[in-house]
Structure 1
Amino acid sequence: MILLLLYVFIAIAAIQIIYFLTFGAFAFAKDKKSKQYDIPVSVIVCAKNEVENLQQLLPQLLQQSYKNFEIVLINDASSDETLEVMEQFQKENNNIKVVDVENNEAFWGNKKYALTLGIKAATNDFLVFTDADCVPATKHWLTEMAQRFSSKKKIIIGYGAYAKKKYSFLNLLIRFETLMAAIQAFSYAKIGIPYTAVGRNLAYHRDEFYKVSGFINHMKIRSGDDDLFIKDAASGKNTAICFAKNSFTISKSKTSFGTWFQQKRRHVSTSSHYKFIHKFLLGTFFTTQLLFWILAIILLCTSAWQYALIVLGFRIIIQYFILGFAASKLKEQDTLYLLPILEIFLIIIHFGIFIANMTSKPTHWK
């Protein structure tokens, strides 16, 4: 019985190592820019009850070094002074356009409906999206994102980081989870099967939006204006990644485990609508992760512990090697100091999210 478990453990470890080698597609990728400069760009921000966040974000957007851009602000039926803040900035800056969206019976509280109206109102064909509750890492954010567009690459996937907070295990865990999600997203995009993006740092040409009739295929699903759009519109031919350090956006992480757990439930809820190949790859990675650590703990308590330790050590070395290069690209090296502990915590949390989403539906866009 122990020998059988050991063989299964070795097989699962081999599958995990294959995944990490696949992640090398991003870990060892070179940063590529196109020759397009100063193409007219529309920055689109959809906000619902975001007065304070907009007052922090908009000055930084206006200070971007890019020359040729407008800002399209979408007020998604806010109940606070969001619209007033938008209109005040519009009065003071001639490159700001405001779209005021009122709730209607057919699309009550639907962010995708609001985004669609904003996209239609945009003057330019090249669209760059961010959220009201984050800020560009530098004044060169827009330049970096826009320079990834080319005659073939019409969808650009960027990195949305979280601000570092000292002495906070939750912040470290959130940033580690974000790093792992980005590594998978970028790696699959690099090998030609993109499946997701983050709406706080995403860009695409208007034509790509209309080719798939916008969000029509998933309009009734509250989440997914980023990943489900990527599912419909992105391919290996039309998608590029942007991971230059000046291209990041920065958000504040949740300060309580409960609110972060609910946020992750919303994000994960859309994965059931992914293509089969992506569900298979993501599901297999998580399942083998879970089984790897369960079997590792069991075997380390048996007479085969020496062999289990060798396999465990070899897998962790490969993991550190690949993830180390990837984390260096995204300036998240400190998230790897407690790698095995963070990985086990994340496995437990994802399993909890899976169970919770099976029993109830998570709440969505405000």
Structure 2
Amino acid sequence: MSVLDFVFYTFAVVVVLQVITYLVVLGKFAYSKPKNKRLQNLPVSVIVCAKNEAQNLKTFLPSIISQDYPEFEIVLINDASSDDTLEVMEDFKNLHSNIKIVDVKNNEAFWGNKKYALTLGIKASSHEYLLFTDADCKPASKHWIQEMTSHFNDKKSIVLGYGAYTKIKKSFLNKLIRFETLATAINYFSFAKSGNPYMGVGRNLAYTKKEFFKANGFIKHIKVRSGDDDLFVNQVATKQNTAICFTPDSFTESAPKTKWTAWIRQKRRHISTAKHYKFNHKLALGLLYICQVLFWILAISLSITTFMWPFVVGLIVLRFAVQYSVYGASAKKLNEKDLLALLPLLEIFLISVQLVIFIKNLTSKPNHWK
């Protein structure tokens, strides 16, 4: 067997594995339909942890305050801010009786640790059902609380939502950020649908206080400064206790990074956190990424050599046809259809950036929180 024969057969195996993954795993979300919601009007504590977010609170907090929901409180956590965050919170509290403020001072043992601040906020909350978002997030509708909490029941104590990013015209970075967000959501929604949930995003996540205290909060990964959302979900989520919510009214929308350096810094934190996932999740996600990398390397190599080109072209077309079917259906659900035109370019650019970040994280530690 020649080298090119080996490369071709490896390429064929990679394509087959990707097609199976897209159809069997990622298709679980792509081709699913939202379940009928169960209106319960459960008392809810919306928790927002903010560090130096004075302006964002002024901009986005009104959209939480104006939620069309009968009984909810807003727990605002000031995580040792050095700007006017606390003053802004107090101004809102003076106008709205359902706002509670938790003012967190720097603690030597938990310096700069968001999990410590969140723990204090959760303990101060009045209700069993907790809904989390960030200070720079805006609910997509006045029914955000209703949509997310409608999935709680006697068995479901964790609800995974979608946190989108605002669209910015004529910005490749914005499209890349949103594509990465879309791809991540497809993965964690699909894994959850398959009965193997592994993460959620703190921009839009709900769970019960009972679930939090049963796990002793963030204690198992308290020394990992990031991961208050995905590491907690990775630890406690199961097939039985986890639901997903992807109706348009349940989305949140955040202001995306507008500079490459800021986004890279954010991604370095996220990628460094993933190494603390359970082994089976790291293995599955690692194989997904390796198959992506191999597909592009082998496809480009075989295309340059024109070795068995009709079969190579056929495999490439098959792979993209299946990928577009899955990503197209998912992007329609998550209102990200404009990304499909640039899917191949965005994919190859994203996996390249992720590889560079992974290598960089091996040599230096990323910064955490703010």
Instruction: Note if contact 1:34-1:150 (Cα within 8 Å) is conserved in structure 2.
Output: no
Matches of 2:219 and 2:112 in 1, distance apart? 16
- Please tell me whether residue 275 in structure 1 is matched to residue 271 in structure 2: no
Which one-letter code corresponds to 2:75 in the other structure? V
Matches of 1:278 and 1:237 in 2, distance apart? 17
Instruction: Note if contact 2:163-2:253 (Cα within 8 Å) is conserved in structure 1.
Output: yes
The correspondence for 1:180, drawn from 180, 183, 195, is 183
**C-alpha displacement at 1:305, in angstroms?**
2.0
Deviations 1:196-251 (A, max 9, x none): 11101000010100111000001111100001100111101000001000111101
The correspondence for 1:347, drawn from 343, 346, 351, is 351
Summarize the alignment of residues 198-277 of structure 1 with structure 2, pairs less than 5 Å apart. Answer: 198-277=201-280
2:83 matched residue in structure 1 = 80
Summarize the alignment of residues 1-366 of structure 1 with structure 2, pairs less than 5 Å apart. Answer: 1-21=3-23, 22-302=25-305, 303-366=307-370
Which one-letter code corresponds to 1:320 in the other structure? Y
Deviations 1:170-192 (A, max 9, x none): 11111111000000000001111
Question: After the TM superposition, which parts of structure 1 deviate over 4 Å for at least 4 consecutive aligned residues?
Answer: none
User: What secondary structure sits across from 1:30 in the alignment?
Assistant: coil
Matches of 2:304 and 2:202 in 1, distance apart? 45
Which one-letter code corresponds to 1:27 in the other structure? A
Deviations 1:102-160 (A, max 9, x none): 00111111100000000000000000000001111111111111111111111000000
Which one-letter code corresponds to 2:345 in the other structure? I
Matches of 2:131 and 2:311 in 1, distance apart? 51
Matches of 1:40 and 1:182 in 2, distance apart? 27
Which one-letter code corresponds to 2:35 in the other structure? K
User: What secondary structure sits across from 2:227 in the alignment?
Assistant: coil
User: What secondary structure sits across from 1:195 in the alignment?
Assistant: coil
User: What secondary structure sits across from 1:338 in the alignment?
Assistant: helix
Matches of 1:259 and 1:82 in 2, distance apart? 21
User: What secondary structure sits across from 2:117 in the alignment?
Assistant: helix
Matches of 1:150 and 1:32 in 2, distance apart? 13
Matches of 1:19 and 1:2 in 2, distance apart? 25
Instruction: Note if contact 2:48-2:134 (Cα within 8 Å) is conserved in structure 1.
Output: yes
Instruction: Note if contact 2:49-2:76 (Cα within 8 Å) is conserved in structure 1.
Output: yes
Does 178-187 or 17-26 show the bigger shift? 17-26
User: What secondary structure sits across from 1:337 in the alignment?
Assistant: helix
Structure 1 spans left out of the alignment, 5+ residues: none
Alignment RMSD: 0.9
**C-alpha displacement at 1:306, in angstroms?**
2.0
User: What secondary structure sits across from 1:24 in the alignment?
Assistant: helix
Matches of 2:227 and 2:121 in 1, distance apart? 17
Matches of 1:305 and 1:146 in 2, distance apart? 52
Which one-letter code corresponds to 2:12 in the other structure? I
Which one-letter code corresponds to 1:339 in the other structure? L
Matches of 1:327 and 1:342 in 2, distance apart? 14
Which one-letter code corresponds to 2:5 in the other structure? L
TM-score, normalization by structure 2: 0.98
Instruction: Note if contact 1:43-1:70 (Cα within 8 Å) is conserved in structure 2.
Output: yes
Which one-letter code corresponds to 1:159 in the other structure? Y
Instruction: Note if contact 2:37-2:147 (Cα within 8 Å) is conserved in structure 1.
Output: no
Structure 2 spans left out of the alignment, 5+ residues: none
Matches of 1:136 and 1:359 in 2, distance apart? 38
Count of aligned positions:
366
Deviations 1:38-68 (A, max 9, x none): 1100000000010000011221111101111
TM-score, normalization by structure 1: 0.99
Deviations 1:285-320 (A, max 9, x none): 100110111000110122322221111111000000
Matches of 1:76 and 1:143 in 2, distance apart? 28
Which one-letter code corresponds to 2:317 in the other structure? G
Which one-letter code corresponds to 1:243 in the other structure? F
**C-alpha displacement at 1:34, in angstroms?**
4.5
Matches of 1:223 and 1:103 in 2, distance apart? 17
Does 30-39 or 252-261 show the bigger shift? 30-39
